[in-house]
Structure 1
Amino acid sequence: MTRKKLEGIEDYQGAAAGWGALKAVADAVRGQMSPAKETHGLLTMNQPHGFDCPGCAWPDPKHTSSFEFCENGAKAVTWEATAKRTTPEFFASHTVSELWTWQDYDLENEGRLTHPMVYDRATDRYLPISWQDAMSQIGAALRALPDPNMAEFYTSGRASNEAAFLYQLFVREYGTNNFPDCSNMCHEATSVGLPESIGVGKGTVTLEDFDHSDCIFCIGHNPGTNHPRMLTTLREASKRGVPIIAINPLRERGLERFTSPQSPVEMLTLDSTPIASSYYLVKVGGDIAVLKGMMKTLLALDASSLAKGGPGLLDREFIAAHTTGIEALLADIEATSWDAIEAASGLPRFDIEAIGNVYAKANRVIINYGMGITQHRHGTGNVQQIANLLMLRGNIGREGAGISPLRGHSNVQGDRTVGITEIPNDALLDGISRVFGFEPPRAKGHNAVEAVEAIRDGRSKALICLGGNLAVAMSDPQATFEAMRGLDLAVHIATKLNRSHLLLARQSFILPCLGRTEIDMQATGPQAVTVEDSMSMVHASRGGLKPASEHLKSEPAIIAEMAMATLPNTKVRWSEMIADYNKIRDAIEAIFPAFKDFNARVLHPGGFRPRNAASEREWLTPTKKANFLIYPGLEEDPPNENALTLTTIRSHDQYNTTLYGLNDRYRGIKGRRDVVFVNAQDLAKRGLSHGDIVDVSVDDPAEQGLSERILRGVTAVAYKIAEGSVAAYYPEANVLVALDHYDAKSGTPSYKSIPVQIKPAADATSKPN
Structure 2
Amino acid sequence: MSTTPEKGHVAPYTHPAGGWGALKYVAVNLIKEKVAGGKYKLLFKQNQPDGFDCPGCAWPDRQHASTFEFCENGVKAVAAEATSKRVTPAFFAQHTVTELLKQSDYELEQHGRLTHPMVYDKQTDKYVPIAWNDAFQLIAHHLKKQPNPDAATFYTSGRASNEAAFLFQLFVRMYGTNNFPDCSNMCHEATSRGLPLTVGVGKATVLLDDFEHADTIMIFGQNPATNHPRMLGELREAARRGTTIVSINPLKERGLQRFASPQHPAEMLTGSSTQIASMFVTPKLAGDFALIKGLGKRVIELDDAAIAAGTKRVIDVDFIEAHTSGFDAFIDDLRAESWADIVAESGVSREDIDAWTDVYVKGERVIACWGMGITQHKNSVATIQMLSNVMMLRGNIGRTGAGLMPVRGHSNVQGDRTVGIEEQPSEDFLNRLGQVFDFEPPRHHGQDVVGAIQAMLDGRTKVFIGLGGNFAMATPDTPRTWQALRNCDLVVNIATKLNRSHLIMDGDALVLPTMGRTEIDLQEGVAQGVTVEDSVCMVHMSYGMNKPASPDLMSETAIVAGMAAATLGSAKVDWKWYARDYSRIRDAIEKVIPGFEDYNERVAQPGGFHLTPASRNRIWRTDSGKATFLVHAIDKDTPIKRAREKYGKDLMVMMTTRSHDQYNTTIYGLDDRYRGVFGLRRVVFINAADRERLGFAAGERVDVTSVWDDGIERHAQDFLLVDYDIPAGCLGAYYPETNPLVPLESIGDRSGTPTSKSIPVLLSRAALQG
What is the TM-score with the length of structure 2 in the denominator? 0.97
The amino acid that maps onto 1:625 is K
The amino acid that maps onto 1:655 is Y
Q: Does the CA-based 8 Å contact 1:594-1:610 persist in structure 2? A: yes
Q: Does the CA-based 8 Å contact 1:5-1:693 persist in structure 2? A: no
The amino acid that maps onto 1:670 is F
Matches within 5 A, 1:238-249: 238-249=239-250
Aligned residue for 2:119, secondary structure, equals strand
2:205 aligned residue: 204
Between the aligned partners of 1:38 and 1:307, the Cα distance in structure 2 is 67
- CA separation of 1:79/1:5 partners in 2, compared to 1, >3 Å: closer, same or farther? closer
Aligned residue for 1:594, secondary structure, equals coil
- CA separation of 1:37/1:139 partners in 2, compared to 1, >3 Å: closer, same or farther? farther
Instruction: Tell me how far 1:517 sits from its aligned partner.
Output: 0.3
Aligned residue for 2:172, secondary structure, equals helix
1:759 aligned residue: 764
Aligned residue for 1:452, secondary structure, equals helix
Q: Does the CA-based 8 Å contact 2:35-2:79 persist in structure 1? A: no
2:351 aligned with 1:374, yes or no? no
1:255 aligned residue: 256
2:682 aligned residue: 674
Between the aligned partners of 2:743 and 2:465, the Cα distance in structure 1 is 24
CA root-mean-square deviation: 1.3
CA-to-aligned-CA distance 1:458-515 (integer Å, 9 cap, x gap): 0000000000001111100121111110101111110011111111142100100000
2:639 aligned residue: 637
Between the aligned partners of 2:391 and 2:381, the Cα distance in structure 1 is 16
Instruction: Tell me how far 1:35 sits from its aligned partner.
Output: 4.2
Q: Does the CA-based 8 Å contact 1:5-1:715 persist in structure 2? A: no
1:518 aligned residue: 519
- CA separation of 1:626/1:570 partners in 2, compared to 1, >3 Å: closer, same or farther? farther
Instruction: Tell me how far 1:331 sits from its aligned partner.
Output: 2.2
2:514 aligned with 1:499, yes or no? no
- CA separation of 1:37/1:501 partners in 2, compared to 1, >3 Å: closer, same or farther? farther
Between the aligned partners of 1:257 and 1:624, the Cα distance in structure 2 is 43
Matches within 5 A, 1:18-97: 18-97=19-98
The amino acid that maps onto 2:716 is L
1:693 aligned residue: 701
1:396 aligned residue: 397
Instruction: Tell me how far 1:34 sits from its aligned partner.
Output: 3.0
CA-to-aligned-CA distance 1:317-369 (integer Å, 9 cap, x gap): 11111111112211221222111111111111000010011111111100000
2:752 aligned residue: 747
Equivalent residue for 1:716, pick from 712, 715, 721: 721
- CA separation of 1:275/1:118 partners in 2, compared to 1, >3 Å: closer, same or farther? same
Q: Does the CA-based 8 Å contact 2:7-2:680 persist in structure 1? A: no
- CA separation of 1:386/1:37 partners in 2, compared to 1, >3 Å: closer, same or farther? farther
1:347 aligned residue: 348
Between the aligned partners of 1:690 and 1:537, the Cα distance in structure 2 is 48
Between the aligned partners of 1:141 and 1:696, the Cα distance in structure 2 is 40
State the percentage of identical aligned residues: 53
Q: Does the CA-based 8 Å contact 2:246-2:278 persist in structure 1? A: yes
The amino acid that maps onto 1:664 is D
Instruction: Tell me how far 1:201 sits from its aligned partner.
Output: 1.0
Between the aligned partners of 1:263 and 1:666, the Cα distance in structure 2 is 20
Between the aligned partners of 1:728 and 1:474, the Cα distance in structure 2 is 16
Instruction: Tell me how far 1:431 sits from its aligned partner.
Output: 1.2
- Higher mean C-alpha deviation, range 685-694 or range 222-231: 685-694
2:599 aligned residue: 598
1:288 aligned residue: 289
2:214 aligned residue: 213
Between the aligned partners of 1:165 and 1:356, the Cα distance in structure 2 is 44
2:384 aligned residue: 383
What is the TM-score with the length of structure 1 in the denominator? 0.97
Between the aligned partners of 2:6 and 2:690, the Cα distance in structure 1 is 19
Q: Does the CA-based 8 Å contact 2:223-2:253 persist in structure 1? A: yes
Instruction: Tell me how far 1:5 sits from its aligned partner.
Output: 10
1:484 aligned residue: 485
Post-superposition, which runs of at least 4 consecutive aligned residues in structure 1 deviate over 4 A? 4-7
Aligned residue for 2:720, secondary structure, equals strand
Matches within 5 A, 1:139-218: 139-218=140-219
Between the aligned partners of 1:205 and 1:569, the Cα distance in structure 2 is 42
Instruction: Tell me how far 1:689 sits from its aligned partner.
Output: 3.3
- Higher mean C-alpha deviation, range 339-348 or range 634-643: 634-643
Equivalent residue for 2:660, pick from 630, 633, 652: 652
2:115 aligned residue: 114
Between the aligned partners of 1:54 and 1:131, the Cα distance in structure 2 is 25
Q: Does the CA-based 8 Å contact 1:407-1:413 persist in structure 2? A: yes
Between the aligned partners of 1:627 and 1:29, the Cα distance in structure 2 is 50
- Higher mean C-alpha deviation, range 201-210 or range 625-634: 625-634
CA-to-aligned-CA distance 1:170-219 (integer Å, 9 cap, x gap): 00000000000000000000010011111101111100000010100011
CA-to-aligned-CA distance 1:414-442 (integer Å, 9 cap, x gap): 00000000011112111111111111111
The amino acid that maps onto 2:713 is E
Aligned residue for 1:262, secondary structure, equals coil
- Higher mean C-alpha deviation, range 568-577 or range 504-513: 568-577
1:707 aligned residue: 712
The amino acid that maps onto 1:343 is A
Between the aligned partners of 1:556 and 1:569, the Cα distance in structure 2 is 16
The amino acid that maps onto 2:666 is T
The amino acid that maps onto 1:757 is L
CA-to-aligned-CA distance 1:215-252 (integer Å, 9 cap, x gap): 00011000000000000000011001111011110121
Instruction: Tell me how far 1:136 sits from its aligned partner.
Output: 1.1
Between the aligned partners of 1:183 and 1:624, the Cα distance in structure 2 is 27
Between the aligned partners of 1:632 and 1:412, the Cα distance in structure 2 is 31
Between the aligned partners of 1:678 and 1:555, the Cα distance in structure 2 is 42
- CA separation of 1:113/1:199 partners in 2, compared to 1, >3 Å: closer, same or farther? same
The amino acid that maps onto 1:644 is M
Q: Does the CA-based 8 Å contact 1:114-1:512 persist in structure 2? A: yes
1:726 aligned residue: 731
Q: Does the CA-based 8 Å contact 1:189-1:383 persist in structure 2? A: yes
Between the aligned partners of 1:662 and 1:570, the Cα distance in structure 2 is 51
Give the gaps of 5 or more residues in structure 1.
none
Between the aligned partners of 2:581 and 2:331, the Cα distance in structure 1 is 55
Q: Does the CA-based 8 Å contact 1:341-1:634 persist in structure 2? A: no
Between the aligned partners of 1:510 and 1:103, the Cα distance in structure 2 is 19
2:466 aligned residue: 465
The amino acid that maps onto 2:728 is E
Between the aligned partners of 1:44 and 1:729, the Cα distance in structure 2 is 32
- Higher mean C-alpha deviation, range 55-64 or range 681-690: 681-690
- CA separation of 1:463/1:64 partners in 2, compared to 1, >3 Å: closer, same or farther? same
1:335 aligned residue: 336
Q: Does the CA-based 8 Å contact 2:411-2:534 persist in structure 1? A: yes
Between the aligned partners of 1:145 and 1:62, the Cα distance in structure 2 is 48
Q: Does the CA-based 8 Å contact 1:490-1:508 persist in structure 2? A: yes
Aligned residue for 1:663, secondary structure, equals coil
Give the gaps of 5 or more residues in structure 2.
none
Matches within 5 A, 1:99-110: 99-110=100-111
Between the aligned partners of 2:123 and 2:213, the Cα distance in structure 1 is 64
Between the aligned partners of 1:380 and 1:34, the Cα distance in structure 2 is 43
- Higher mean C-alpha deviation, range 255-264 or range 30-39: 30-39
Instruction: Tell me how far 1:705 sits from its aligned partner.
Output: 1.4
Instruction: Tell me how far 1:569 sits from its aligned partner.
Output: 5.5
Q: Does the CA-based 8 Å contact 2:39-2:546 persist in structure 1? A: no
Matches within 5 A, 1:309-320: 309-320=310-321
Between the aligned partners of 2:434 and 2:530, the Cα distance in structure 1 is 24
Between the aligned partners of 2:316 and 2:697, the Cα distance in structure 1 is 50
- CA separation of 1:107/1:7 partners in 2, compared to 1, >3 Å: closer, same or farther? closer
2:427 aligned residue: 426
The amino acid that maps onto 2:748 is D
2:236 aligned residue: 235
